[in-house]
Amino acid sequence: MNPPDGDDWISVTEASLSAQRLTSWASRPDCGAVVTFCGTARNSSTNGRLIEALEYDTSVELAELRLGQVVAVARAKWPELVAVAIHHRVGLVNLGEPAVVIVVSSPHRQAAYDASRFCIDTVKSFVPMWKREVWEGGSAWSEEAQDLLRLEDL
Partner 1 sequence: MARILLLGPARDAAGRRHDELPGRTVGEVLDAAVARYGTDFGAIVRVSQIWLNAEVVGVDEALGPHDEVVVLPPVSGG
Q: Which residues bind partner 1 (CB under 8 A)?
A: 39, 56-59, 62-63, 65, 88, 99-100, 120, 123-131, 141-142, 144-148, 150
CB of 51 to partner 1, least distance (A): 13
CB of 35 to partner 1, least distance (A): 16
Residue 26 or residue 89: which is nearer to partner 1 going by CB? 89
Cβ-count burial of 17 within 10 angstroms (0-12 exposed, 13-18 middle, 19+ buried)? buried
Q: Any idea what the Cα angle at residue 25 is, between residues 118 and 83, rounded to 5°?
A: 40
Residue 75 or residue 132: which is nearer to partner 1 going by CB? 132
Residue 82 or residue 102: which is nearer to partner 1 going by CB? 102
Q: How far apart are CA 87 and CA 93, in angstroms?
A: 13
CB of 143 to partner 1, least distance (A): 8
CB of 107 to partner 1, least distance (A): 27
First to last CA, the chain: 29
H helices within 51-94, ranges in order? 60-77
Residue 82 or residue 99: which is nearer to partner 1 going by CB? 99
Three-state helix/strand/coil letters over 41-63:
CCCECCCCCECCEEEEECCHHHH
